[in-house]
Structure formats: structure tokens, C-alpha cells
Amino acid sequence: MEIDIVEILSKLRGKIIEVVTEEADRLQVDAYLIGGYVRDLFLNRRSKDIDVVCVGSGIQLAEAVAGNLGEKASVAVFKNFGTAQVKYLGNSIEFVGARKESYNSHSRKPAVENGTLEDDLNRRDFTMNAMAIRINKEGFGDLIDPFNGLDDLENLLIRTPLDPDITFSDDPLRMMRAVRFTSQLGFFIVPETFEAIERNKNRLEIVSQERIIDELNKIILSPCPSVGFELLEKTGLLEIILPELTALKGVETKEGIGHKDNFSHTLKVMDNLAKTSDNLWLRWAALFHDIGKPKSKRFDPKLGWTFHTHEYIGMKMLKDIFIRLKLPLNDKLKYVEKLVSLHLRPIVLAEDEVTDSAIRRLLFEAGDDIDDLMLLCEADITSKNPEKVRQFLQNFQLVRSKLKDIEAKDHIRNFQPPIDGLQIMELFHLPPGHEVGELKAAIKDAILDGKIPNEYEAAYNYLIQIAGEKGLKADIH
């Protein structure tokens, strides 16, 4: 990667930068673009999040900039942190005074005091984020790069500015950020930094689950999530965060028969899905789709290794995992549970003769998530045999075609039986109970099996018939 500094600096012109320059000079404050915004300038990545450090009051500069930008700008001040944020036309400009930090061993929240630009750069996580560009008129565009971050950026390297053991011990979340940058940007962690992550992995325990999940979500949404998860596993971080995933790792052989490494398979499924969907929760479903395999693994001399009911075991594991990770216990959990529990169904259909009844039942259970389920199942085909993959994907097209035809004809997706339990109770003077549930289920099964159409009159006549067989007489007025 070649970086043309002159071309990069030419991109600094624009109303926001001009106003910051004007107000910084008026207030006689040294101001610098810093951190991720500078890094992304050199990577040619567009960013609407601008970080400005000044040697002086960041809050005072922010308020002056917001006033200059006019009524379309708003400013939020965080006095406890000495920071302020200006919002302007979809851009976010963060202002902070240069500072230095000190940590104690039980918290990642530092004690902060005013400092120099050098102090501020020293506290940064990685060399590529420890560069600053001066934006005062005098010296406009000067690059301050004390740790050769530009060289590391050009060579795609992630390293800490100072001793990595101190950097990661002070703020253990930086270990997750290192992994995230490898996954997002395709960079490489230098050996001494990698080894420091291994040594300090247990420090992650002082970091809140919310911050960990924020980084994990970014890894999951990266172009090639497997890069991040392989590094999380190699550094030992994954065992701390998600031991259910590391339990998938490894191949066991018995009587000369082995099974595939389900950890590697899971990462391949995620990478496949990353090519077709950026739905975060669908990618979480891919990550968890096989977590029930270690608990369901059995060896049968005739069948070899089996993982019967792993989809249901995995689904049952999810709520506890979501609680531990502080993931949302709402429709997101239900969505992931549904996809994990159903992820084998389209594959079975693709292997067998595709019947209308089986398609109706799949549509009924998957509802509006049927398209996401099909994406997950297609990603789940990871055979090394290209002919086998081609055949499966071809069969999936048949399943998709059948799904479309059945849905157009029978309107099964998210359907409710035309006759509900209350109507059954009134019609046969029955109290709430299993008998009502059985009659209602019989109507549903008859529709899904294609015995009757999904219409009120057909369902009513069928109900009268099956109830009569049970000796129940309808109260027909």
C-alpha cells in the first residue's frame, strides 16, 4: 500500500476543518486532527467522525466551532470528561483537550489530567492511531508521527506505541480492538503485540460485557469474520468470551473414522454468509448454529459420528449465553433461536423429495424469516467436494421455487388457523383444555398437509367432521 501524503492532505479542505482552524487560531489554541480520523484519511476510508485534540480547552473550542457553523450545528458538553461533541450535517466532531492517563489494576477507567500533545499520543492504543495532523494556519497539514505509525500503516502492521504489556493491562479492551482491526482492515498483529495479548488475556475480565460485545459485533460484521475469530481463539480470548465456540474445535477419530472440525466449519459458514448478508443477527445465528454439537456427539459403529438433535440442544443453550453476554433478550434472541433450531430443515428437504406438505410446515415455522433461513442453509454447505456443493445449491433452488409457489397458493407464512380456540369452545361448549388444543392442532395439520385449503368454510366443515368422530356435537343455530 503506497500512501501519497500530499494527496491525503489535500483532502483536509472543507467547511468543518476551515471553521475549526479559524476558531482555534482566534482562541490561540493548538489544534490537531487525531486518531482514527487520521488513520482513515491515509487508508482512503470516508469518515464522518472527526476527532480533534487541542492543547487547551476542548469544550471552549467546540462551543466556538458550533457557534460559527450556525443553527445547523448542535453541541453536547461532557464536563466530567472534559470533552464536547458537535453534530453538523451528519458529521460528528469530537473535541478534547490533550491529556495523559494513569490506571489502577482493577479498572479500565483512567485517572485523567491535562497534558501535552506528546502525552496524548503516548496513551493511544496502536501506532496507526497515534498520529496527528496540525490544523492551525501556521503549520497546517504537518504530520506528527512519533511512533512511525505511517510506516506501520503502509506495512499493514498493528503494534502498540509503548510497552504492549502496559498498554493492554491498562485497558484490556485494546486487545479486542487489535483483533477487530485485523478482521476489518486485513492488518497483521506484530509478534510482540500478539504475545502480549496472550499474556494479558485474563485482564479482559475487568471489561464490561457491553464493551466486549460492541467489539465482537464489529468483528462479526467485518468482511471476513473468520480472521477475527481465529485470532480470538489463538490468543485465548475466545475461551474467556465464548467457551461454547472453542468447544467446537478439534477432530476426534474412532475406528479410523473422524469428523470435521466444527470450529473451522462454523467460521467458513460465517465467511460464506458475509458474502450475501450484512444482517448482524443472521451472522450471530451462523456463529451459533452448531454449538449443540459437542453435547450431542455420539459414535455409532454403523453410522460413524452423529450429532442428532444438535440444532435443538443448541437452541436451548442460547438464552443462557445471551444472558451472560448481555445480548438482548427480546425478538433478537427469538430470531437466533428460530434459525438455529430450523437450520437443518431446508438441507433435509434439499436431500429428499420436496413435498408440498414439508414446504408448508417449513413456511409455517419460519414465517417471515424464511429467506434468512435459506441464506444460512446455503452458507452451511462447506464441503470440499465442489460437485457436492453444486448439487446442494441446485437443490436449494428447487426448494426456493417450491416455497414461492406454495406461499402464493396457500398463504401459509405466519398464518393463523381460520378457526381459533375460542370459537371451538363456543361451538362445542367445551372448557379450555387439551381437547380444544387437539381440535385446533388438527385443523392446522390438515391445512399444512394439504388436506383442506386455508379457508374458513373448509376448516369449519373439517372441524365438524373430526369433532363428530370424537362424539362431540356442535351447537349450530
All three cell numbers of 108 = 479500565
Residues 378 and 382: their CA atoms lie apart, in Å, by: 9
Per the domain annotation, does 264 fall within a domain? no
**Predicted confidence band of residue 108 (pLDDT cuts 50, 70, 90):** low
CA angle 249, 250, 251 (to 5 degrees): 140
| Entry field: residues in the chain | 477
Answer yes or no: is pLDDT of 163 > 90: yes
What's the mean pLDDT in 172-194? 96
Query: Could you tell me the residue range of the domain that residue 41 belongs to?
Result: 5-152
Q: How far apart are CA 125 and CA 121, in angstroms?
A: 9
Confidence class for position 101, pLDDT limits 50, 70, 90: low
- At 2, is the pLDDT very low, low, confident or very high (cuts 50, 70, 90)? low
| CATH assignment of the domain containing 24 | 3.30.460.10
Residue 421 is predicted with a pLDDT of: 87
Nearest one of 170, 171, 124, 164 to 144, comparing CA atoms: 124
Last residue of one domain, picked from the residues 125, 152, 179 = 152
Of all residues in the chain, the percent with pLDDT exceeding 70 is 92
Q: Where are the alpha helices (DSSP H) in 354-433?
A: 356-366, 370-379, 386-410, 421-428
Percent of the chain with pLDDT over 90: 55
**Paired sense of beta strands 83-88 and 30-34, if any:** unpaired
Q: Where does the pLDDT of residue 98 fall: very low under 50, low under 70, confident under 90, or very high at 90 and above? A: confident
Task: Give a yes or no: residue 35 inside a domain.
Answer: yes
Q: What is the pLDDT of residue 331?
A: 95
* pLDDT at residue 452 in the model: 86
Beta bridge partners of residue 365, listed in sequence order: none
Domain assignment present for 25: yes
pLDDT value for 100:
66
The two beta strands, 132-134 and 143-144, are: antiparallel
* SS3 assignment, position 151: helix
Last residue in a domain, options 131, 152, 173: 152
Number of domains in the chain: 2
In this predicted structure, which of 6-10, 28-32, 62-66, 165-169 has the lowest mean pLDDT?
Answer: 6-10
Q: Is 352 part of any domain? A: no
Q: Give me the mean pLDDT over the 42-51 stretch.
A: 88
Residue 308 lies in a domain: no
Task: Report strand pairing: 188-189 vs 157-158.
Answer: parallel
* pLDDT bucket at 397, cuts 50 / 70 / 90: confident
Cα dihedral 257, 259, 261, 263 sign: negative
Q: What is the per-residue pLDDT across 418-476, written as a single tens digit (0 to 9) for each?
A: 888 898 888 888 888 888 888 888 888 888 888 888 888 888 888 888 888 888 887 76
What value does the mean pLDDT of the chain take?
A: 88
Query: Rg of the chain over CA atoms, in angstroms?
Result: 30
Q: Is residue 382 part of a domain?
A: no
274-321 confidence digits (pLDDT tens): 999 999 999 999 999 999 999 988 877 777 777 889 999 999 999 999
- Any domain includes 237: no
Last residue of a domain, one of 152, 176, 198: 152
Report yes or no on 426 lying in a domain.
yes
Give the C-alpha separation, 177 to 212, whole Å. 9
Give the per-residue SS3 of 316-360.
HHHHHHHHHHCCCCCHHHHHHHHHHHHCCHHHHHHHCCCCHHHHH
Q: Which residue has the higher pLDDT, 10 or 406?
A: 406
The answer to whether residue 338 scores a pLDDT higher than 60 is yes
Reported pTM? 0.84
Tell me how far apart the alpha carbons of residues 471 and 464 are, in angstroms, rounded to a whole number: 10
More confident residue, 38 or 12: 38
Of the candidates 428, 357, 349, which has an alpha carbon nearest to the alpha carbon of residue 395? 349
What pLDDT does residue 477 have?
57
